[in-house]
Amino acid sequence: MPNPKRRHSKSRTSKRRTHDALKAVALGPCPQCSELKPPHVVCTNCGHYRGRQVRPVTEEA
């Protein structure tokens, strides 16, 4: 199996790793309750998804 003949420099390694950073999660407002939620996910506050009630929400005092 081939091995590198010379060591890669720090700048070359850093250039390769520039795209490895984690991106922030995109959040948008829920159309029903205006609470922030990720896209394509049931709202945890009101239980709506795509305009209809999908999950029952228990009220906690």
Residue-range domain boundaries for the chain: 28-61
For residue range 6-59, list pLDDT tens digits in order. 999 999 999 999 999 999 999 999 999 999 999 999 999 999 999 899 998 887
| Pairing relationship of beta strands 48-49 and 36-37 according to DSSP bridges | unpaired
Residue for token pair 């250039």 = 15
Q: What's the confidence (pLDDT) of residue 20?
A: 94
Contacts of 48 (CB under 8 A, 6+ apart): 30, 31, 32, 33, 42, 54
Q: What's the confidence (pLDDT) of residue 61?
A: 55
* pTM for the model: 0.59
Q: What's the confidence (pLDDT) of residue 40?
A: 95
